[in-house]
Amino acid sequence: MSVPVDSATDSATGPAPWVAMYHSVGDCSDDPYRITVTPERLDRQLAWLAGRGLRGVSLAELLAARARGEGRDLAGLTFDDGYADFLTGALPVLRRHGCTATLFVLPGRLGGDNAWDPLGPRRPLLCADGIREAAAEGVEIGSHGLTHLDLTKADDATLRAETAGSRAALADLLGTEVAGFCYPYGTVDRRAVAAVRDAGYAYACAIDPGPLTGPHALPRIHIGQNDTAVRLFLKHRLHRLRRRPVAGLR
């Protein structure tokens, strides 16, 4: 998959695209990390985007459009961790609104759960067949590393496994190249960015990478259950004021 956003081949610099960061879509009654939205809330949030003339798409589609100088009517939709409820909670809502998305998964935890969250609750992750099912529905699959480790604390061998190793594992699982990466916990430093770039990813997502902002450290906006129309309006409006430009995008 080709996502032409490399600043080495395109010197244009434009505002960072608006990219929403989701996680689980289901029951949010026990949600200490506030990572879950209900399908009903997701439905209203995507309707809000449509009401503003925006359509939610995968990062591959968004970045390819922006590299052509287009796509100002697109917003990125990303779902981290690869929760099993993506198929039952998120995908039907995405279909209903004509949206696509990028799903960042953990090939080292296929069919496991979110053991990295000490407070729980335990949420099942997609197995290999579930990831293939999502891909067959037009969802872009990206890597979230192998096992959800903070890459800024990883030794060299672990860093290679979590970046290059996870990309190779997903390529084997899907039978296609993987373009995108997402830093676990959103933590990023220059060493992690270099490892992701060297692993061959076309782009990578963080949360608020500050001076590292670029094609391999794209900022995103957390979207949760409490994000009603007013909060979404503010997050969308403040994005252009707070985010650094991204080289390679127009």
Give 118-173 pLDDT, tens digit per residue: 998 999 999 999 999 999 999 999 999 999 999 999 999 999 999 999 999 999 99
Question: pTM of the entire structure?
Answer: 0.92
Q: Facing residues of 20 across strands?
A: 77, 221
From CA 250, how far away is CA 198, in angstroms rounded? 24
- Res 8 pLDDT > 50: no
The DSSP secondary structure of 96-156, one letter per residue, reads HTT---EEEE-GGGTT-B-TT-TT----BBP-HHHHHHHHHTTPEEEE--SS---GGG--H
SS3 state of residue 13: strand
In sign, the C-alpha dihedral spanning 9, 64, 246, 174 is negative
State CA 92 to chain mean position distance.
18
pLDDT in tens, 62-90: 999 998 999 999 999 999 999 999 999 99
